[in-house]
């Protein structure tokens, strides 16, 4: 059965931005509730490259996680708004990625989550440039035995089913895969047949991470709304068998921008466990 993780960024941004929940408090709560892992927000106010630059700071983060009995499902990369489609900043992108990679490796994270940045666009040359840059990042990641989890989002470039598949095919590297967020998938397939389930089939063999979030089809801050599991229209029960068949170890619950996420952590874990049991 899939292991269940939780993204710590839920308590860093949006309704929690004014008073972020400290990372160690989040981790302790996840351990108490029985989660299997944490997915680290690799940006301030959590585990940033600046705040976690020393060996001592990194050792402390690892100790906090291990003391809670948790694993690490991954870490979000901090690419500082860099767009992989911009040829003029390609080397800067790869240098920044290497810094993220070094932190991920030091913490023992198996994967780094990145996105495409930039506004939505229909531009074949831009997609090809992004793929070239991301392939370079994947080659660096392979040296560290770390996977790249590329997350498509409705507010960023290359977010239609066709573009998502094309980008994955053009990168064509074993250390690069698509992060399938169920709320983003609902919006990405709003105008195509088959919905998220069809997109899952189209991306067969190209998905290497899963984020669980429900959605009613609306947006917040440009991206898809992340509702509590079971409270939206993403069709999670029907998606569960396909998600369960994917070669990923963790399902990460993503409650970004949801007010009151803290009090829902236990209920979300219970729902995710039922979902995982139904898919096994």
Return the minimum-mean-pLDDT range out of 87-101, 113-127, 144-158, 218-232: 113-127
pLDDT(261) > 90: yes
pTM to 2 decimals?
A: 0.97
Residue 124 has pLDDT above 90, yes or no: no
**pLDDT exceeds 90 at position 112:** yes
Per-residue model confidence (pLDDT) at position 81 = 83
**Average pLDDT for 39-44:** 97
Question: Domain 3-279 maps to which CATH number in 3.40.50.300, 3.20.20.150, 1.10.8.60, 3.20.20.70?
Answer: 3.20.20.150
pLDDT at 122 over 90: no
Model confidence pLDDT, tens digit, residues 179-207:
999 999 999 999 999 999 999 999 999 99
pLDDT at 80: 85
Can you tell me the mean pLDDT for 73-89? 94
Mean pLDDT score, 75-82:
93
Say if residue 120's pLDDT is above 80: no
Return the CA Rg of the chain.
Answer: 17
Q: Are 245 and 266 in contact (CB under 8 A)?
A: no
- pLDDT given for residue 129 in this prediction: 95
pLDDT greater than 80 at residue 77 = yes
pLDDT confidence tier of residue 123, bands split at 50, 70 and 90: confident
For 50, other C-beta atoms within 10 Å of its C-beta total: 9
Res 119 pLDDT > 90: no
For residue 113, pLDDT over 90 is answered with: yes
């Amino acid at each position: 059965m899939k292991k269940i993780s939780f993204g710590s960024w839920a308590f860093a941004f949006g309704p929690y931005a004014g008073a972020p929940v400290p990372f160690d408090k989040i981790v302790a709560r996840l351990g108490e509730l029985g989660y299997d892992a944490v997915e680290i927000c690799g940006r301030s106010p959590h585990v940033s490259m600046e705040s976690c630059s020393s060996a001592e700071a990194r050792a402390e983060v690892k100790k906090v996680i291990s003391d809670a009995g948790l694993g690490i499902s991954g870490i979000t990369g901090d690419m500082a708004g860099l767009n992989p489609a911009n040829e003029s900043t390609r080397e800067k992108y790869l240098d920044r990625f290497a810094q993220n990679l070094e932190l991920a490796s030091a913490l023992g994270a198996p994967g780094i989550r990145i996105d495409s940045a930039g506004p939505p666009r229909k531009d074949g040359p831009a997609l090809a440039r992004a793929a070239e840059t991301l392939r370079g990042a994947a080659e660096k990641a392979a040296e560290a035995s770390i996977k790249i989890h590329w997350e498509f989002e409705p507010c960023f470039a290359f977010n239609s089913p066709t573009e998502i598949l094309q980008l994955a095919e053009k990168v064509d590297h074993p250390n690069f895969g698509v992060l399938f967020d169920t709320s983003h998938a609902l919006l990405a397939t709003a105008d195509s047949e088959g919905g998220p389930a069809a997109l899952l089939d189209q991306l067969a063999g190209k998905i290497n991470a899963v984020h669980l979030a429900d959605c009613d089809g609306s947006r917040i801050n440009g991206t898809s709304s992340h509702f509590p599991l079971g409270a939206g229209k993403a069709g999670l029960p029907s998606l569960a068998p396909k998600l369960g068949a994917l070669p990923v170890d963790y399902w990460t619950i993503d409650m970004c921008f949801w007010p009151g996420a803290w009090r829902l952590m236990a209920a979300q874990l219970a729902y995710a466990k039922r979902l995982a049991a139904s898919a096994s």
